[in-house]
C-alpha cells in the first residue's frame, strides 16, 4: 500500500508498505481522504517537539470499513463510512479518572506520537471508530478539526446569553464559531484575513474584526456596549492573541485556550485577579463532539467546499505541503485522496 511519511524536516516521501491485518478487536479501514493539519505542518517544519520522526502523519480521517475482527461487536459493518477518534487514553491518569479522556496525561495522537492515517489502509481499535453516514466522503475528513473547536465552546460553557469572541478563523476557529452560534451566542470573529472573516459571517458570526486594520479594543467596546466579550476563545497560539484575550475579556469572563504558543507568553496577571477570570485549556475533543459535528454537517448548511483548499494525490502531497509552508495564512484544509 502507498503511505506518506515525514522523514526529516521539509521532507515528505511516498512509501510502499505492507497492508495491515486487523487484530480480533480491530477494524481495518480503507482510507478515502486524510486532512493535513497544523500539527502536521509543524512536524514538517521541525517545530513539533511532541512528534515522532520519521512519522506517517494524519488524524483527520475519512474511511470505509474494509474488514472486521472477530471480537468487534455488531453495529459496525463492512462498507460503512466512518471517521476515527485519533487519541489514546490510558484509563488511569487524573484526566481519565474524571472521564476527560481527550486530555489523557499519556495521550498519543495518530500522526503525532504514533503513525497516522496517511496511507491506503489502517487498523484501529473498534472503540475508536465513529460512524459518519450521510456525508460526502471529503466532508468526513473535516469532522475531527471542527470537533476541536466544538469542544472549546463546551469548555467555555457558552450559552445564548453570551457574547463570544473567537480569535483566529482557521479550521478550529471555524468549529468554535459554528458551535457558539448553534448555542445562540452572539459571536464576534477576529482574524487578519478578510476572506476568512467573510466565511465566519456565513457560518454564524454576527460581527467581525480585522486585527490588522481595525482598532480591536474600540471595536469590541462598541460591539459589547463597553463590557467586553463574556467568553474569548483563543485559536491562534501567539503571544499577542493570548494578551488580547486577557485584556479584552469582560470582568468575570471566561477564556478558553486552544492555540499552542511557540514560546512562553507574558500576561497581565493583575487581570486574573481583578477580573476574577476563568482561564481554561481545551485539548482535542470527545466522541460526543465528533457526533455533534456530524449532526451539524448533515444539515447541509455548511459551505464545506470553502473549507477545503485543495484535494491532492499522495504523489502531489509533498508539493502541497511545501506550498502551505510558504503561505500558511491562505489554507483551511488540504485533503489527500487515497
Q: Taking Cα atoms as reference points, which of 118, 137, 183 lies closest to residue 314? A: 118
Cell numbers found for residue 237: 497560539
Is pLDDT at 286 greater than 90 in this prediction?
yes
Residues 111 and 117: beta-carbon distance below 8 Å: yes
In 9-77, DSSP assigns E strands to 11-16, 26-36, 60-68
Residue-wise pLDDT tens digits, 216-265: 999 999 999 999 999 999 999 999 999 999 999 999 999 999 998 888 89
Q: What is the helix (H) or strand (E) element at residue 337, kind and residue range?
A: strand 333-337
Question: Rounded distance, CA 114 to CA 119, Å?
Answer: 14
CA atoms within 13 A on the CB side of 288: 8
Residue-wise pLDDT tens digits, 295-313: 999 999 999 999 999 999 9
- Residue that the C-alpha cell 486577557 belongs to: 246
Is pLDDT at 281 greater than 80 in this prediction?
yes
Task: Report how far apart, in Å, the C-alpha atoms of 228 and of each of 123, 222, 241 are.
Answer: 48, 9, 15
Name the pTM for this structure.
0.96
Residue-wise pLDDT tens digits, 97-116: 999 999 999 999 999 999 99
Q: Is 180 exposed, middle or buried (CB count within 10 Å of its CB: 0-12, 13-18, 19+)?
A: buried
Question: Rounded distance, CA 52 to CA 38, Å?
Answer: 15
Mean pLDDT of 185-205: 97
Confidence grade of residue 277 (pLDDT, cut at 50, 70, 90): very high
Task: Report how far apart, in Å, the C-alpha atoms of 4 and of each of 93, 140, 311, 312, 316 are.
Answer: 33, 20, 15, 12, 11
What average pLDDT does the structure give for the chain?
Answer: 96
Question: Rounded distance, CA 182 to CA 243, Å?
Answer: 27
Question: Rounded distance, CA 108 to CA 25, Å?
Answer: 19
* 49-53, 147-151, 287-291: least confidently modelled range: 49-53
Mean pLDDT of 141-167: 98
Please report the pLDDT score of residue 203 as a whole number: 97
DSSP conformational letter for 278: E
Mean pLDDT of 271-300: 98
Confidence grade of residue 329 (pLDDT, cut at 50, 70, 90): confident
For the chain, the helix, strand and coil percentages under 3-state DSSP, each to the nearest 5: 35, 25, 40
Which residues sit opposite 192 in a β-bridge? Answer: none
Mean pLDDT of 172-201: 97
Amino acid at each position: 500500500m502507498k503511505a506518506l511519511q515525514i522523514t526529516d524536516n521539509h521532507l515528505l516521501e511516498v512509501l510502499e508498505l505492507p497492508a495491515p491485518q486487523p487484530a480480533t478487536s480491530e477494524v481495518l479501514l480503507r482510507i478515502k481522504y486524510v486532512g493535513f493539519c497544523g500539527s502536521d505542518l509543524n512536524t514538517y517544519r521541525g517545530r513539533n517537539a511532541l512528534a515522532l520522526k520519521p512519522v506517517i502523519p494524519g488524524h483527520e480521517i475519512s474511511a470505509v470499513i474494509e474488514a472486521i475482527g472477530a471480537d468487534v461487536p455488531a453495529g459496525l459493518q463492512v462498507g460503512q463510512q466512518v471517521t476515527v477518534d485519533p487519541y489514546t487514553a490510558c484509563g488511569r491518569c487524573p484526566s481519565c479518572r474524571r472521564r476527560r479522556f481527550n486530555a489523557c496525561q499519556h495521550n498519543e495522537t495518530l500522526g503525532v506520537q504514533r503513525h497516522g492515517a496517511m496511507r491506503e489502509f489502517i487498523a484501529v481499535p473498534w472503540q475508536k471508530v465513529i460512524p459518519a453516514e450521510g456525508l460526502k466522503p471529503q466532508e468526513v475528513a473535516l469532522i475531527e478539526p471542527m470537533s476541536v473547536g466544538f469542544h472549546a465552546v463546551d469548555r467555555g460553557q457558552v450559552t445564548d446569553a453570551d457574547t463570544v469572541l473567537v480569535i483566529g478563523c482557521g479550521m478550529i476557529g471555524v468549529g468554535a464559531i459554528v458551535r457558539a452560534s448553534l448555542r445562540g451566542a452572539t459571536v464576534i470573529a477576529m482574524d487578519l484575513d478578510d476572506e476568512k472573516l467573510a466565511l465566519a459571517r456565513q457560518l454564524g458570526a454576527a460581527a467581525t474584526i480585522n486585527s490588522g486594520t481595525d482598532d480591536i479594543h474600540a471595536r469590541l467596546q462598541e460591539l459589547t456596549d463597553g463590557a467586553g466579550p463574556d467568553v474569548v476563545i483563543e485559536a491562534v497560539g501567539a503571544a499577542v492573541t493570548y494578551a488580547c484575550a486577557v485584556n479584552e475579556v469582560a470582568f468575570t469572563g471566561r477564556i478558553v485556550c486552544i492555540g499552542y504558543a511557540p514560546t512562553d507568553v507574558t500576561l497581565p496577571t493583575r487581570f486574573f485577579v481583578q477580573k476574577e477570570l476563568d482561564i481554561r485549556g481545551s485539548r482535542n475533543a470527545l466522541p460526543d463532539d465528533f457526533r455533534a459535528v456530524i449532526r451539524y454537517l448533515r444539515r447541509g448548511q455548511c459551505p464545506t467546499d470553502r473549507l477545503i483548499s485543495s484535494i491532492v494525490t499522495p504523489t502531489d502531497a509533498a508539493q502541497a505541503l511545501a506550498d502551505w509552508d510558504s503561505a500558511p495564512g491562505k489554507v483551511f484544509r488540504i485533503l489527500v485522496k487515497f
